[in-house]
Amino acid sequence: MKKDLLKIDDLSKDDILDILNTADQLKYEHKHNIPHEHLKGKSLGMIFEKSSTRTRVSFEVGMYQLGGNALFLSSRDLQIGRGEPIEDTARVLSRFIQGIMIRTYSQEEVETLAKYSSIPIINGLTDLEHPCQVLADLMTIREYKNILEGLKVAYIGDGNNIAHSLIIGTLKIGMNISIACPKGYMPKEEYIARGKELSELEGTKFIITTSPEEAVIDADVVITDVWASMGQEDEAKIRKEAFVGFQINKKLMELAKSNALVLHCLPAHRGEEITGDIIDEHSNEIFDESENRLHAQKAVLLKLMKNNY
């Protein structure tokens, strides 16, 4: 495994499966009160430049359960907020702590942090990717369906960070994925190109369309995310108009398999990208998906912060 988890593509197929297996094991140990304090004496710094409920709490609690310690570092309070270069911050923090989770806007900032740190860096969401979320999604799908390979995922909505990580994560693992986004809101070209490459390599289907109906046909899993991500609040109104028809609702779900799962990374905007009744109907898997952030990330922490785990 690489030193850092900056993008989902940093993980090989075997790395992903290894993380998912470890996550299942850690979940079992957690539920059965079996101690697993493998990171005793280690500290994780958590730099947040954007808001968070799940990511903050799951990393902090995860480190505690692994016997370690987590420090919440708001970028407003760090000297980064007053202009200290990320390169210096990286070198200083590497002397104190054993890993950093960072949530910020720019992927480049995370890459720079990783380049100048001697400790593992974990991307807790950037504008480009959300790899930890997709690991939890894959874990949840496998819990419900027992397999991943060959299943069809449909993602309906914005071609954003979640869509990017999902394209790479699903195709790498041998799943099929259809992405439906309005014109002008497609995933970045580099992700489409990499997706095509992976689907050829794995012999799986990768479809990009502007039709939610086409994407959702016979899907085993239907996934969506907010129309306006953090940092896009000013565009909320214009996006609401552009995304008409891209809502997960009863009518659209009729096209998916009758036992299809619905996932949402949350927070959700009921009545926009998804209706309240669909969230209620699928609340089991949606809130398992949230919980699985904890277990999947604990697996990542162990893999990156403990030698040969």
Could you say which of ligand CP, ligand NVA, none residue 139 binds, taking C-beta under 5 to 8 angstroms by partner kind? none
From residue 222 to residue 241, the character string flagging contacts with ligand NVA as x (rule: CB under 6 A) and all else as - is: ---xx--xx-----------
CA distances from 274 to 37, 213, 293 (A): 39, 15, 21
Short-list 178, 132, 179, CA closest to 290: 132
Q: Which two tokens stand for residue 70?
A: 């987590």
CA distance 232 to 216: 26
- 230 assigned ligand-binding residue: yes
285 touching ligand NVA, by CB under 6 A: no
3-state SS, residue 162: helix
| Cα Dmax for the chain | 55
Q: Which is nearer to ligand NVA, 58 or 160 (CB)?
A: 160
Q: Which is nearer to ligand CP, 98 or 133 (CB)?
A: 133
The residues annotated as belonging to the active site are 103, 130, 133, 225, 265, 293
Could you say which of ligand CP, ligand NVA, none residue 53 binds, taking C-beta under 5 to 8 angstroms by partner kind? ligand CP
- 171 assigned ligand-binding residue: no
Question: Which residue intervals of 180-248 are DSSP H helices?
Answer: 189-202, 212-216, 236-242
Q: Which is nearer to ligand CP, 55 or 275 (CB)?
A: 55
**Amino acid, res. 207:** I
Residue 189 sits at φ, ψ, to 5 deg, of -55, -40
Could you say which of ligand CP, ligand NVA, none residue 104 binds, taking C-beta under 5 to 8 angstroms by partner kind? none
305 touching ligand NVA, by CB under 6 A: no
From residue 113 to residue 132, the character string flagging contacts with ligand CP as x (rule: CB under 6 A) and all else as - is: ------------x-------
| 170: DSSP letter | H
Binding residues for L-ornithine, as ranges, are 161, 225, 229-230
